[in-house]
Amino acid sequence: MLSVEEFVPVPASGRRVSMPTTVRLSDTTPEGAWRLDGIARVLQDVATEDYESTDIVSEVAWVARRTALRSTGTWPRLYDELRALTWCSGFGAAWVERRTNIYRGDELVIETATLWVPVDPRGFPVRLSAEFLAVYGEAIGGRKVSGRVPSTSPPAHAPRRPWPLRRADLDVIGHVNNAAVWQALAEMTTTPVRAAEVIHHGAIEFDHDVELVVDDGELWLLVDGEVRVAAVTIA
């Protein structure tokens, strides 16, 4: 999982975007706690709000490669009024790290870091543009991050079962959306958690037969025996 050092602080200058949000009924557990997939949706929404409010003209779409979060305060609950603050905190040749903090009032309750990759209409990664770096470079402050993610595989003894897909899980690219993938974590844990991380090794598409594997706080989604998503939580 990401180390504490990788949750870099809010920069003193540069582009930062804030968005209010409320924990709604559709994003909570039966006990009223904010679900992990609800958090993932907010991370997507505030990132989109940020990028689309720039003057950058591009056909790229952004896909999540890795997202890590940790709890830093009292876990949000139903009807809590929150604020998501996002900024770009690192970059590579064809990827960006985006930090997003979630606040309740002045209390920082959740910290997140996501590695986002820009892809063209065919789904291939593209290099960051000069326009992007002109907008976000000051906040990034020259910090470079690796685009590599660790490989992993489930143990042979771990039980497997089908993970059915729904059309509601798909996004505009035709892949299973990042937030829908986070719903699989509900199969092995419930909120609140101390920390969680999801890594995307490959896309999941609607015609795939997906297997869900869970073992001792770790989760894998497999297609034809190949790991497409790996995740871990710390309760």
- Per the DSSP assignment, residues forming a β-bridge with 107 are 104
Q: Which of 209, 152, 225, 154 shows the shortest CA–CA distance to 176?
A: 209
Q: What tokens were used for 5?
A: 């050092």
What is the rounded distance in angstroms from the CA atom of residue 64 to the CA atom of residue 88? 14
What's the pTM value of the predicted model, to 2 decimals? 0.94
- Domain 160-234 in the same topology as domain 4-140: yes
Kindly report, residue by residue over 194-214, the tens digit of the pLDDT. 999 999 999 999 999 999 999
Q: Which of 162, 13, 149, 17 shows the shortest CA–CA distance to 83?
A: 17
Is the pLDDT score of 75 beyond 60? yes
Give me the DSSP letters along 38-53. Answer: HHHHHHHHHHHHHHHT
> Average pLDDT for residues 175-192, to the nearest whole number?
89
Is the pLDDT score of 215 beyond 80? yes
Is the pLDDT score of 19 beyond 70? yes
Which CATH fold would you assign to the domain 160-234?
Answer: Thiol Ester Dehydrase; Chain A (3.10.129)
Q: Which of 40, 13, 171 shows the shortest CA–CA distance to 113?
A: 40
The rounded radius of gyration (Å) of the Cα atoms in the chain is 17
Give me the DSSP letters along 169-211. Answer: GB-TTSBBPHHHHHHGGGGT--S--SEEEEEESS--BTT--EE
Q: What is the pLDDT of residue 6?
A: 78
**pLDDT band at 187, cuts 50/70/90?**
confident
**pLDDT band at 5, cuts 50/70/90?**
low
Q: What is the pLDDT of residue 3?
A: 57
Q: Where are the domains of the chain?
A: 4-140, 160-234
Q: Which of 123, 120, 121, 143 shows the shortest CA–CA distance to 8?
A: 143
Q: What is the pLDDT of residue 4?
A: 52
Is the pLDDT score of 84 beyond 60? yes
Element (H, E) at 231: strand 226-234
Q: What is the pLDDT of residue 173?
A: 82
Kindly report, residue by residue over 143-153, the tens digit of the pLDDT. 999 999 988 99
Which CATH fold would you assign to the domain 4-140?
Answer: Thiol Ester Dehydrase; Chain A (3.10.129)
Distances (CA, A) of 30 to 108, 134, 217: 24, 45, 21
What is the rounded distance in angstroms from the CA atom of residue 177 to the CA atom of residue 175? 6
- Per the DSSP assignment, residues forming a β-bridge with 218 are 215, 232
**Cis? peptide before 76, omega within 30° of 0:** no
Q: What tokens were used for 151?
A: 């490989």
* 8 Å CB contact between 228 and 199: no
